[in-house]
Structure 1
Amino acid sequence: MAIFMEQLTSMRIFLVLFLPLLLILKARKRVSSSSNAVRLPPGSWQLPVIGSLHHLLRSPLPYRSMADLARRLDAPLMSLKLGEVPVVVASSPDAAREFMKTHDVNFATRPWSPTMRVLLADGEGLVFAPYGPLWRQLRRISILELLSARRVQSFRRVREEEVGRLVAAVAAVTPGEAVNVSRRIAETIMDMTMRSIMGDRFEKRDEFMQVFAEGVKITSGFNLGDLFPSSRLANFLSGNARRAEANHRKNGELVDSVFRQHEEKRAVAADGAVDAEDLVDVLMRIQKEGGLEVPVTTGIIRAFILDLFASRGETTANALQWAMSELMRNPEAMQKAQTELRDSLQGKTTVTEDDLANMKYLKLVIMETLRLHPVVPLLLPRECRETCKVMGYDVPKGTTVFVNVWAISRDPKYWVDPEEFKPERFESGTVDFKGTDFEFLPFGAGRRMCPGVAFAVAGIELALASLLYHFRWELPAGVSPRELDMTEKMGITVGRKNDLYLHPVVSVPSPAVL
């Protein structure tokens, strides 16, 4: 969604070119009061052609604009028209429950924008596959083979080794030198993820990170080409189709490099002695075995690998950055988390996953981070498969549905001091992120809930615990905790706009594992 503001100039040009049409349509517009009219959820006033888009121009972060509009309208269920695209936004737990539980099956598919059609031309992964036989098959493979508790546990050594490298790299920094914590975290999570996927660190890691970041921007859905899919002019001004084609081609080349590197490693392994089955092994085994309702093509495997990185890498890295940022802004919470770790570990040279079971406050910190900074604030969009009634309103077939979990998790009706970072609010244990508490949905709920929660949380807990245990962290000179820059940038996921730089001071030395 960052691309939305990048294209603001194109949007203005589009409006100027269509101004005569706007005036004509406005003069002809008449609202019907027929008793048989569709009863849509409430929404603010709209303009011809662009619909509700002008309401989103107030902020580069659409989820904030949508939250403000829903609050002004007092509309937990809100109807918008974003260009040509009919949209319904859920901004309350009750509304979210309607889409992800009561009517879950009817809203279990994904809208396919022109951009997505380009990016998924060779095959669909689990994340964006339409609801149907292929999606059910991919979900079953994910649950049973790729993201099961047993599979997550099998990659424990990978997580511990990569976090050990992170700690060693930070400890090696010249005293007094600031560390780009954002970059270090992103690289560690990338290496951790790719070792799980392909059994090795990816030789083209930096290039892949750059191409993937561009893909996240492209798939935001808030660009002219996707908002006006029938307009060739909008498509031309957007340039998104061209960017999507280039990104799709480059991603394909990089994933092919993943396959080649994976095969080369297996080929040189002595006597077939390789590490435990990685995720590429699993997918290739399933492809070879066959017997599936929908054959698993190489294109589907490519898309699946990108899905795995998106659900594991991008979200985990962003969550970790926000956790470190909030702890720096809240020194008392930082001290409490570090005291828990150091009292429990008693000078151990490394943090292992066995040590995390007793870290109750650390887990509360992560939950509070996900509440304040859900990494996918609008979740991934759903599409209405058949017209139905939700909370007494009509939701027509084809409507795109957003669940604004950012608005829900900051709603004072459900949270005391919702803008404050207070991990203690989760101490009762009555609320979790498993998709049953609709006031707290960082990973969604229902059939389309993120299947990679266990993978993500395992990486977040170990990395955060290690960074807090081994180091005391200081802000750059002259910056107070409340002055720390917390500006957000928006793609499908929300990360920091500017990298987080901090000064580490070693508290507990660790073995050098670089």
Structure 2
Amino acid sequence: MAFPILLLCLVSTIMFASIVWRKQNKTLLPPGPIGLPIIGHLHLLSPTPHQEFHKISIRYGPIIHLFLGSVPCVVVSTAEAAKEFLKTHETSFSNRPAKTVAVEALTYGFQDFLFAPYGPYWKFMKKLCMSELLGGHMLDLFLPVRRQETHRFVKRVHQKTGEAVNFGGEFMTLSNNIVSRMTMSQASSENENEDEEMRKVVADTAELVGKFNISDFIWFLKSFDLQGFNKRLKKIHHRFDVVMDRIIKEREEERRKNKETGGTRGFKDMLDVLLDIYEDENPEMKLDKDSIKAFIMDILVAGTDTSAVTMEWGMAELINNPRVLEKAREEIDSVIGKSRIVEESDIINLPYLQAIVKETMRMHPAGPLIFRESSRGAVVCGYNIPAKTRLFINVWAIGRDPKHWESPLEFRPERFIENGASGLDVRGQHYHLIPFGSGRRMCPGASLALQVVHVNLAAMIQCFQWKVEGGNGMVEMQEKSGITLPRANPIICVPIPRLNPFPFMSLF
């Protein structure tokens, strides 16, 4: 009898303390629905929390306060409010959310870049990322790699002419190959089984990091694995660790031999840069092997999954909007012609294609929620936001706000060309369009992602017709859970070369 009585007392105490705390702070906090004891508002969320947050904000306003279990949260759903948090009060909201089971396991104890606390280590890693991999010089240096992977992508699709193709998988392969070669000089043709394993790890990681784990939000459940997260996390971590240990070992051996013989492997990739710092006796910031693996995990997940899902959503919208697709083809044929494949340098001369990509990112942002956490208390828009409050910026909802977007549920790229709107950018300066975030923790890979998405979506438009099997020739538009915004079901359609003769066979 003692244990049930003790448990009842514990629950009663938590309920009482929670109710008293919320009543005392009710006038200071943003509005929100009434929560339940212990679980707070967890019962209101679905596998796609950005959609549920949007529904709640319609009733309670642009800034709402929720308790996800014992974790206080603020959800922001308008551009004006997002600007207050991300710009006016940026210094108070520069941290990522506190420790979660998934992030801690997959980032080797927060030794990565994306989820590292704001501070000297994070600043060093961002500088390294921007200067050594994602800066203009490095992007120019790796242009031949991206071009080659685009040609290989077109070749793979062409070889499957008349077959049903999973374009979700093809886009993932394309993105993974580009990022892997820029990061570790690894190409899928070198070890296809290992490459497939790495793509699966990336997809599984993006899914688990984006899922709500109840043990992260209800403190007395932290020792329990009610949803089976820990088991899956251990498997994913082990799979990634095994592959990375082999790659690092082989690279260290190659570097040792080159040092002995005076040889060289050409220009450095990201792994070489990280190993240079690791081997430096007096580095600006000391890195160990786990730091290297955590950083590479970041680059693979952030650079692979986001570009792939953006291209897939763009293709889905084009299939469902044949008028837009035909207009895009007319522009590409007019500017590029039919004797060569589209290049990155052509994108500046394809304003309608640029508008299609912006419209895709507006309706289907790869990161539907921006995650931050307050490092100190702040008063924002008249509301008191305590320290250690988790902040969600609902990018998905902001992109569908009728205050800023006429007919927001309509896929209409023309909105980015008409009335002088061509200057509306996606790089964090216009808060009603922030697919890459904004401020100091904005995604550093925006330039790379835009190059990859534009040129490869253009290549598919230029080179192929797409026949959707079954139904009415349309594809469904349901979403699946994840830290990115994957489609619930991949696009399966038959590619049909639209140019005869096919002009690019000499490339293969």
Q: Does 1:405 align with 2:391?
A: no
Using a 3 Å threshold, how does the CA distance of structure 1 residues 390 and 352 change in structure 2: closer, same or farther?
Answer: same
Distance, in Å, in 1 between the alignment partners of 2:454 and 2:389 is 38
Is the 1:471–1:506 contact (alpha carbons within 8 Å) kept by the matching residues of 2? Answer: yes
Distance, in Å, in 2 between the alignment partners of 1:290 and 1:411 is 53
CA-to-aligned-CA distance 1:464-488 (integer Å, 9 cap, x gap): 111111112222244233xx21111
1:16-165 correspondence runs (5 A): 39-56=28-45, 59-73=46-60, 75-111=61-97, 112-121=99-108, 124-165=111-152
- 1:171 is matched with which residue? 158
Match of 1:384 among 369, 374, 381: 374
1:253-264 correspondence runs (5 A): 253-263=242-252
Distance, in Å, in 1 between the alignment partners of 2:84 and 2:111 is 27
Is the 1:113–1:221 contact (alpha carbons within 8 Å) kept by the matching residues of 2? Answer: no
Match of 1:345 among 336, 339, 358: 336
Using a 3 Å threshold, how does the CA distance of structure 1 residues 138 and 28 change in structure 2: closer, same or farther?
Answer: closer
In the TM superposition, residue 400 of structure 1 has moved relative to its aligned partner by 0.6
Distance, in Å, in 2 between the alignment partners of 1:33 and 1:247 is 39
- 1:5 is matched with which residue? none
CA-to-aligned-CA distance 1:83-117 (integer Å, 9 cap, x gap): 11111111111211122111111110112223323
CA-to-aligned-CA distance 1:120-153 (integer Å, 9 cap, x gap): 3356111011011100111111122221011111
Aligned-partner residue type, residue 430 of structure 1: G
Aligned residues: 489
Residue identity (%): 34
In the TM superposition, residue 431 of structure 1 has moved relative to its aligned partner by 1.6
Distance, in Å, in 2 between the alignment partners of 1:464 and 1:386 is 43
CA-to-aligned-CA distance 1:201-236 (integer Å, 9 cap, x gap): 152111111122222222225111212233256x23
- 1:511 is matched with which residue? 505
Aligned-partner residue type, residue 54 of structure 1: H
Is the 2:50–2:368 contact (alpha carbons within 8 Å) kept by the matching residues of 1? Answer: yes
Q: Does 1:285 align with 2:276?
A: yes
CA-to-aligned-CA distance 1:157-189 (integer Å, 9 cap, x gap): 1111111011111111243x2221111111111
Match of 1:454 among 447, 450, 453: 447
Using a 3 Å threshold, how does the CA distance of structure 1 residues 24 and 336 change in structure 2: closer, same or farther?
Answer: same
Cα RMSD, aligned residues only: 2.5
3-state SS of 1:472 partner: strand
Is the 2:215–2:221 contact (alpha carbons within 8 Å) kept by the matching residues of 1? Answer: yes
Is the 2:108–2:294 contact (alpha carbons within 8 Å) kept by the matching residues of 1? Answer: no
| Gap regions ≥5 residues in structure 2 | 1-6
Distance, in Å, in 2 between the alignment partners of 1:337 and 1:462 is 13
Distance, in Å, in 1 between the alignment partners of 2:70 and 2:346 is 53
- 2:174 is matched with which residue? 188
Q: Does 1:236 align with 2:229?
A: no
Using a 3 Å threshold, how does the CA distance of structure 1 residues 254 and 485 change in structure 2: closer, same or farther?
Answer: same
Distance, in Å, in 1 between the alignment partners of 2:166 and 2:437 is 31
- 2:4 is matched with which residue? none
Distance, in Å, in 2 between the alignment partners of 1:466 and 1:34 is 58
Distance, in Å, in 2 between the alignment partners of 1:424 and 1:256 is 48
- 1:305 is matched with which residue? 296
- 1:252 is matched with which residue? 241
Distance, in Å, in 1 between the alignment partners of 2:93 and 2:333 is 46
Distance, in Å, in 2 between the alignment partners of 1:37 and 1:174 is 62
Is the 1:41–1:79 contact (alpha carbons within 8 Å) kept by the matching residues of 2? Answer: yes
Is the 1:225–1:241 contact (alpha carbons within 8 Å) kept by the matching residues of 2? Answer: no
| More divergent stretch after superposition (386-395 vs 112-121) | 112-121
1:259-270 correspondence runs (5 A): 259-263=248-252
- 1:466 is matched with which residue? 459
Aligned-partner residue type, residue 401 of structure 2: D
- 1:357 is matched with which residue? 348
Is the 2:29–2:383 contact (alpha carbons within 8 Å) kept by the matching residues of 1? Answer: yes
1:328-343 correspondence runs (5 A): 328-343=319-334
Is the 1:199–1:262 contact (alpha carbons within 8 Å) kept by the matching residues of 2? Answer: no
Distance, in Å, in 1 between the alignment partners of 2:197 and 2:507 is 24
Is the 1:376–1:494 contact (alpha carbons within 8 Å) kept by the matching residues of 2? Answer: yes
Is the 1:91–1:403 contact (alpha carbons within 8 Å) kept by the matching residues of 2? Answer: yes
Match of 1:435 among 428, 431, 439: 428
| More divergent stretch after superposition (77-86 vs 19-28) | 19-28
Distance, in Å, in 2 between the alignment partners of 1:80 and 1:421 is 32
CA-to-aligned-CA distance 1:326-374 (integer Å, 9 cap, x gap): 0001001101111111111122232222222211111111010000000
In the TM superposition, residue 246 of structure 1 has moved relative to its aligned partner by 2.9
Aligned-partner residue type, residue 212 of structure 1: V
3-state SS of 1:503 partner: strand
Distance, in Å, in 2 between the alignment partners of 1:281 and 1:28 is 53
3-state SS of 1:87 partner: strand
- Per the normalisation by structure 1, the TM-score is 0.89
3-state SS of 1:152 partner: helix
Q: Does 1:323 align with 2:343?
A: no
Distance, in Å, in 2 between the alignment partners of 1:268 and 1:288 is 15
Distance, in Å, in 1 between the alignment partners of 2:408 and 2:62 is 17
Distance, in Å, in 2 between the alignment partners of 1:32 and 1:323 is 46
In the TM superposition, residue 283 of structure 1 has moved relative to its aligned partner by 1.8
- 1:8 is matched with which residue? none
Distance, in Å, in 1 between the alignment partners of 2:18 and 2:237 is 41
Q: Does 1:212 align with 2:206?
A: no
| More divergent stretch after superposition (322-331 vs 422-431) | 422-431
| More divergent stretch after superposition (117-126 vs 97-106) | 117-126
Distance, in Å, in 2 between the alignment partners of 1:459 and 1:182 is 15
